[in-house]
Chains A and B, each alone.
Chain A
Amino acid sequence: MRRAVSVSFLLLSCLIAAGFAQQTITVGFTVSRTGALNVDSVEQYRGFELWRDTVNAAGGIKAGGKSFKIQFASYDDESNSKRVQQLYTRMILEDKADFLFSPYSSSLTATAAVVTEQNEKIMLTTGAAEEKTYKLGNQHLYQMFAPATQYLTVALDALKAKDPKASVAFVYEDASFSVAVVTPAKAYAQQLGFNVVFSEAYAPNTTDFSAIIDKVIASKATVLLGGGHYADGSTLARQLYGHKVPLKMVTLLVAPDSPQWAELGDAAVGVIVPSQWEPQSTFKAQYGPSGTEFAKAYTAKYNAPPSYESAGGYASGMVLQHAIEQAGGIDTAKVAEALNATDITTFYGRTKFSTQASEHGLQIGHAIFLAQWQKDKSGKPVKQVVWPLAGKSADLVYPMH
């Protein structure tokens, strides 16, 4: 009898302990706290962090009659794909992460996706726009960013409206994301009738662009499209300005979206960035905070305005939260089902994932727009939405200087 009571007590204790453990959701991801992707990655992390703090302050995610607090398992990947492979394995096997967010960048995410898919874990990807990863038959990947092909085609649409006879040069980082953006953009430029006069990829760690700049000048290009990430993009813009290259339009990927871009001073002005989100965006949120509320909370916490990487980070959390609520718990199959059915508009815009087997998880609801750095009345560089015209906060300045 005494033995039966002891066993029952032990079983009850285990059940209670298990019940309490389920009250916390562990979300795993890596951050590039060091290395070339540091600037963009930390901004993405801040979005995750603000979402976690907001949800926990409100008592956690309410689903299936329970409340789930969020905790993170997070490590520095040093912008290095080898570290990503080790750390995602560790987060799944040792930290027992229930769900995962992606690292920053398409290339690191492609590495992480191999691990998460092998372990059948859901990963929401942000800062990972290249389509290829979503066309490999993965069933647990969900992309928050609009796909890479849209980045420069939008810029070419805007250019067509302003200067259909422009001569275009493509100068871009030799990395999976930039190549995935530029390859379709080149074809689209030719389709629109532009003269593509120069195209060259540069190594990701390039710091001296003199030789490429000389070639751009020699090509008589009037427009330059390309870039890659923050380190190379900011250096390219600085050197284009230093060499006084006579360009009418410069559109660079990713880098000019960071608030840090303003530190380039006059070299920052006029540069355009294809953007996933801007604080001026006016999407009517069906779920979560408005854009103004998000920007206000973010600025109060980090003393800097949010970039689209930050917004993507926060939105990833919201979409996961929405799916858990719809699924009534954290069962992977049920949450995946809820994500497949997701079609919501948040402050970040519309989110809908493809459920076709050939491109499962690819983002098909979100769209890109263009932001340009312009001087405000006090002469300070600020970012303005300039395209599409329906959502603009200022006119596109063309030529840029």
Chain B
Amino acid sequence: MIDGLLIGSVYGLAAMGLSLIWGVMDVINLTHGAMIALGMFGMYLLFNATAVNAYFLVLPLIAAGFALGILVYWLSVNWVIDRPILMSLLSTFAVNMMVIGIGTAIWSTSPYNVNFSMPGITFGDYTFTGNHMAAASSAVVIALLLELFLRRTRTGKAIRAVADNRDAAELMGISSTRVLMIAFAIGIALAVASGALVSTLFPFTILSGAGYQLKSFVVTVLAGLGKPFGALVAGVLLGLLEGAVSPFIAVSWIPLIEFGLFVLVLIVFPRGIFGKATA
């Protein structure tokens, strides 16, 4: 259960980026998995170059992710914002394929590791690794900072205003293009951060982001679109569910349980657990 709680926080962080972009812009960002993978390789390269505590390196990677997000926004998103949703799907999928293709050419699809470990805590026969605890704590801190940013800062409030009603926000003098760009860049920065954290726990390849992207979709739908903090909570719930059921069934059955729950939530709470009911 505790392992599930720890890894669930990282799932949650990964899903927050997807949720933010989906909720604010109505864009399903299919570069999400590729950005998670870039976060993993970013951590690998930075850690090998600097050999400092891996968790300190998450900060420069968030900054790099933000800059990358701005680039991707102008490259593939800005010109399809008000077009049918299929256009943004195709456009972000194209960027995803480019990143995966370039990444495969550079790193192949062979597994890589970030060789960093922190001492864990032992209770009886069970040991919780320091990396799991540090990754989970980092994910929660980043999520809380994002929530504070969205609630307390002028830009954060503008993002929420655009998410609620873009036309009304523009009438109030908010530049929606700038706000959408910032929201997209934050979403990418969160994906990069979650990839960087995951890379300290498990080996990864350039294709590893796809699995986390799938989990992010589940978590985002569980939480309800545009509910970043809800995504964190839903991620933790998903991790707890994995931890709770795994002693009783073979691990290979867990995806079936997760996706079963996904379908159930879609039927019972079509707008997500934390989503508001339509009037």
A residues near B (Cβ < 8 Å) are 33-36, 38-39, 78-79, 174, 200-203, 205-208, 210-212, 214-215, 217-218, 231, 234-235, 238, 242-246, 263, 265
B155 interface residue (CB < 8 Å to A): no
Q: Separation in Å of the A203 CB from the closest CB of chain B?
A: 5
Enumerate chain A residues within 8 angstroms of B259, measured Cβ to Cβ. Answer: none
Q: Separation in Å of the A264 CB from the closest CB of chain B?
A: 9
Q: Is the CB of B125 within 8 A of A246?
A: yes
- CA–CA, A69 to B198, complex, Å? 49
Enumerate chain A residues within 8 angstroms of B247, measured Cβ to Cβ. Answer: 211, 214-215, 218
Q: Is the CB of A208 within 8 A of B7?
A: yes
Can you give 26 contacting A-B residue pairs, CB < 8 Å? Answer: A34-B104, A34-B108, A35-B109, A35-B110, A38-B108, A39-B110, A79-B109, A200-B251, A201-B250, A203-B252, A205-B211, A207-B202, A207-B208, A208-B201, A208-B202, A210-B132, A211-B3, A211-B247, A211-B251, A214-B126, A215-B246, A215-B247, A235-B111, A235-B202, A243-B126, A265-B115
Q: Separation in Å of the B256 CB from the closest CB of chain A?
A: 12
In the complex formed, the residue of A with least CB distance to B204 is A207
- CA–CA, A231 to B112, complex, Å? 9
B129 interface residue (CB < 8 Å to A): yes
Q: Using a CB-CB cutoff of 8 Å, which residues 169-215 of chain B contact chain A?
A: 201-204, 208, 211
Enumerate chain A residues within 8 angstroms of B111, measured Cβ to Cβ. Answer: 36, 231, 235
- CA–CA, A72 to B251, complex, Å? 42
In the complex where A34-B110, A207-B204 touch, is A201 in contact with B252 (Cβ < 8 A)? yes
B39 interface residue (CB < 8 Å to A): no
Q: Separation in Å of the B221 CB from the closest CB of chain A?
A: 22
Enumerate chain B residues within 8 angstroms of A202, measured Cβ to Cβ. Answer: 251-252
Which residue, B3, B125, B252, B254, has most C-beta atoms of chain A within 10 A? B125
B53 interface residue (CB < 8 Å to A): no
Enumerate chain A residues within 8 angstroms of B202, measured Cβ to Cβ. Answer: 207-208, 235
Q: Is the CB of B203 within 8 A of A231?
A: yes
Q: Is the CB of A200 within 8 A of B204?
A: no
In the complex formed, the residue of B with least CB distance to A207 is B202
Other A-B pairs, 8, CB within 8 Å; known A207-B203, A242-B117, A244-B120:
A34-B108, A34-B109, A78-B109, A200-B250, A200-B251, A211-B242, A211-B251, A244-B127
Q: Separation in Å of the A220 CB from the closest CB of chain B?
A: 9
Q: Is the CB of B110 within 8 A of A38?
A: yes
Enumerate chain A residues within 8 angstroms of B109, measured Cβ to Cβ. Answer: 34-36, 38, 78-79
Q: Using a CB-CB cutoff of 8 Å, which residues 91-138 of chain B contact chain A?
A: 104, 108-111, 113, 115, 117, 120, 122, 125-127, 129, 131-132
Q: Separation in Å of the A300 CB from the closest CB of chain B?
A: 25
Q: Separation in Å of the A262 CB from the closest CB of chain B?
A: 12
Enumerate chain A residues within 8 angstroms of B127, measured Cβ to Cβ. Answer: 242-244
Enumerate chain A residues within 8 angstroms of B108, measured Cβ to Cβ. Answer: 33-34, 38
B12 interface residue (CB < 8 Å to A): no
Q: Separation in Å of the B178 CB from the closest CB of chain A?
A: 39
Which residue, A38, A206, A210, has most C-beta atoms of chain B within 10 A? A210
B243 interface residue (CB < 8 Å to A): yes
In the complex formed, the residue of B with least CB distance to A244 is B127
Enumerate chain B residues within 8 angstroms of A211, measured Cβ to Cβ. Answer: 3, 242-243, 246-247, 251, 254
Enumerate chain A residues within 8 angstroms of B246, measured Cβ to Cβ. Answer: 211, 214-215
In the complex formed, the residue of A with least CB distance to B117 is A242
In the complex formed, the residue of B with least CB distance to A230 is B111
- CA–CA, A34 to B104, complex, Å? 9
Enumerate chain B residues within 8 angstroms of A212, measured Cβ to Cβ. Answer: 251
- CA–CA, A243 to B6, complex, Å? 14
Q: Separation in Å of the B1 CB from the closest CB of chain A?
A: 9
In the complex where A215-B247, A217-B126 touch, is A210 in contact with B3 (Cβ < 8 A)? yes
In the complex formed, the residue of A with least CB distance to B246 is A211
Enumerate chain A residues within 8 angstroms of B125, measured Cβ to Cβ. Answer: 217, 245-246
Q: Separation in Å of the A202 CB from the closest CB of chain B?
A: 6
- CA–CA, A116 to B251, complex, Å? 37
Q: Identify the 3 closest CB pairs spanning chains A and B, nearest first.
A: A211-B246, A207-B202, A34-B108
- CA–CA, A35 to B204, complex, Å? 11
Q: Separation in Å of the A244 CB from the closest CB of chain B?
A: 4
In the complex where A207-B204, A210-B3 touch, is A242 in contact with B129 (Cβ < 8 A)? yes
